[in-house]
Amino acid sequence: MIATTKDYIQLHFLVFLWGFTAVLGKLVSIPSVEMVFYRTLLAALGMAVLILVARGTFVVSKSDFIKIMITGLIVAIHWLTFFGSGRVSNPSTSLVGFATCSFWAALIEPIAKRKKIQVLEIGLGLVVIIGLYIIFSDDFQYPLGLFLGIISGLTAASFSVINSKLVVRVNAHTITFYEMASACVIVLLFLPIYQNSWADQGQLNLIPSWSDWMYIAIMAWICSVYAYSVAINLSKKLSVFFIQLALNLEPVYGITLALIVFGENEVMGWNFYAGTIIIISAVALYPILKKRTETQFR
């Protein structure tokens, strides 16, 4: 299937929405683990309603069901590390760590699809690593936050590759429903461990405020149900690497929104912005270099 201009516009709109989730996650007052539980719960319920209204199907083969549920575990880890990163540092740091997803996709996608690893993609992935090194080079204050952000990038690349293979056989809405449901169950099972190990004073905070419900609902129904389904469908036309590379624009949108919302708390040192610019530059370079490479080898 050939990608159209509409597909590229949709992709960048999704990137904006996902960049916005870092800001929304910071605005929610309850801890990130409890927040992810409610987000996945609302997302699963919202997708179930959408499937019923659209007269879709919940039916999948046993083997695909197992794969989807395991992928839900990866999705749960992704969101826990992404929002956990924002809580122990700030949204800007979590977004930059997440930007490594393109590097991971450049490694994982060719292996999963039994294709040749592209030197160009690996090279641009290494550019991302250089950007991260520069961020670390000047007494960076949030190493744990950046580490969790990088893990969120790795898991995002992983479930994106898996979904790009599943969507050939299973409807994107069905995939989204089961993965959200699986992620919700995983987080629910994780709550007792979290309570006894990391929760503040050993207590869970399972009572969101009205504003929390509003922010979580936006993340669940717009940034998950809508965006996640569209992204899975786009993986039919666009390579996972290109989608993940475009996601490097998340820091641009997210950091800009964070500066507007949180002001001085989001102001970072020169090395942070220099490294971020290097990471973002890979997005602009990829289509240009790829086109030149394909022209040379025709």
Q: What is the DSSP string of 89-102?
A: S-HHHHHHHHTTHH
Model pLDDT, residue 287: 64
Contacts 24+ apart (CB under 8 A), 6-12: 7/234, 7/237, 7/238, 10/230, 10/234, 11/231, 11/234, 11/238, 11/243, 11/246, 12/246, 12/249
Residue among 63, 55, 75 nearest 173 (CA): 55
Per-residue exposure over 74-87, b if at least 16 CB sit within 10 Å of its own CB, e if not = bbbbbbbbbbbbbb
pLDDT at 20: 81
Residues 6+ apart with CB under 8 A from 245: 102, 105, 124, 282, 283, 286
Q: How far apart are alpha carbons 233 and 245 in whole angstroms?
A: 17
| Maximum Cα interatomic distance, the chain, rounded to a whole number of Å | 63
The residues, any chain, with a CB within 8 Å of residue 53's CB and separated by 6 or more, are none
Q: So what's the pLDDT on residue 294?
A: 61
Question: What end-to-end distance do the CA atoms of the chain give, in Å?
Answer: 21
The one-digit pLDDT tens for each residue of the chain (298 residues) are 567 778 888 888 888 888 788 788 888 999 989 999 999 999 999 999 999 998 999 999 999 999 999 999 999 999 999 888 988 887 778 877 887 787 788 788 888 888 887 788 778 778 877 877 776 666 667 889 889 999 999 999 999 999 989 988 999 999 999 999 999 999 999 999 999 988 888 889 999 999 999 999 999 999 888 988 888 888 888 877 778 777 767 766 777 777 777 766 656 677 777 877 887 777 667 667 766 766 655 5
Q: In the 8-state DSSP scheme, what is residue 139?
A: T
- Residue located via tokens 């979580």: 216
Continuous segment of H or E residues that includes residue 151: helix 143-166
How many whole angstroms separate alpha carbon 169 and alpha carbon 122? 29
pTM of the predicted structure, to 2 decimals: 0.80
**Number of Cβ within a 10 Å radius of residue 169:** 11
The whole-number pLDDT of residue 197 equals 85
